[in-house]
Structure 1
Amino acid sequence: MAKANIKMPEEFLLKVSRLADQTDVILPKVLEVGGEVVLDKVKGNLSKVVGKGTKYPSKSTGELLSSLGLSSAKQDRNGNFNVKVGFAEPRSDGESNAKLASIIEYGKHGQPAKPFLKPARNSSRKPCINAMVAKLEEEIEKI
């Protein structure tokens, strides 16, 4: 049986070792940069559809748009880091922001759907990945 020894450069091994020690610090930063890209796209899409194309004058207060936000990066029980784009609850009138967003996204009887989440997810995928890759490379260079 053939045997081969490959020696990695010492500098590379040290950098990889330091990177492993810093993943809990780097990953949240990278995910939050990607989340900001998605959040901006969702906000833009939501502002375009709220109150547009209705039979009656819009009663929009802007509360749904202002409640849209990004969570900080948190680690779940499986060890995966996650950020979430979502709506803060509850509204001042007692209704649920998630319910209103769902009605806008999927429609209801007598109200056509005005999707804003799914198009935002699809159109922000590549810019989000590019932003996260750039941030990761920036963080790796600091090591």
Structure 2
Amino acid sequence: MAKVDVRMPEDFLLKVSKLAEQTDVIIPKVLEVGGEVVLAKVKDNLRSVVGKGTKYPSKSTGELVSSLGVTSAKQDRKGNYNVKVGFSEPRSDGGSNAKIANIIEYGKHGQPAKPFLKPAKSKSRKQCVEAMTAKLDEEINSL
């Protein structure tokens, strides 16, 4: 029976071993870069729909847009890292930003839907993946 012995280059093996040690540091950095890309697209979409096409003059204060943010990367119970793009609560008037965003996204009786979250998710996907890939390559090359 024939036997084949394949050896990996030493520098490659060293990078892989360093990468394994640094995974808990690299993954959050990569996800946060992706979250910032999505956040920018959501803010742009929200600005473009707030106060547009209404029967009455807009009473927009800009508080909804300014409350948008992205969390730092956190690990869940299953060991997966996540970042979330969402609204900080509560509003200065005691109301809920999430409620207002939901009404804008899906509409209500007498107010048509003006989706801004779902289009942002689909349109920023490619840019998000590219940004995260670039950050991952940067982190790997710095090892």
Q: Structure 1: which 5+ runs fail to align?
A: none
Q: For 1:81-100, what aligned pairs fall within 5 Å after superposition?
A: 81-100=81-100
Distance 2:97 2:36 in 1: 20
Q: Which residue of 2 aligns with 1:64?
A: 64
Question: How far apart are 1:10 and its partner, in Å?
Answer: 1.4
Distance 2:141 2:101 in 1: 40
Q: Which residue of 1 aligns with 2:128?
A: 128
Q: Which residue of 1 aligns with 2:118?
A: 118
Distance 1:2 1:88 in 2: 64
Q: Which residue of 2 aligns with 1:80?
A: 80
Q: Which residue of 2 aligns with 1:49?
A: 49
The reply on whether 1:35 has 2:35 as its aligned counterpart is yes
Distance 2:106 2:57 in 1: 20
SS at match of 2:79: coil
- Write the deviation string for residues 98-136 of structure 1: whole angstroms up to 9, x where unpaired: 010000000001000000000000000000000000000
TM-score, length of structure 2 as denominator length: 0.97
Q: Which residue of 2 aligns with 1:138?
A: 138
Question: How far apart are 1:6 and its partner, in Å?
Answer: 1.5
Distance 1:2 1:55 in 2: 81
Distance 2:16 2:114 in 1: 47
- Write the deviation string for residues 11-31 of structure 1: whole angstroms up to 9, x where unpaired: 111110000000111111100
Q: Percent identity?
A: 78
Distance 1:106 1:10 in 2: 56
- Write the deviation string for residues 60-86 of structure 1: whole angstroms up to 9, x where unpaired: 111100000010011111111111000
Which consecutive segments of 4 or more residues in structure 1 shift more than 6 A?
A: none
SS at match of 2:56: coil
TM-score, length of structure 1 as denominator length: 0.97
Compute the RMSD of aligned alpha carbons.
Answer: 0.9
Q: Structure 2: which 5+ runs fail to align?
A: none
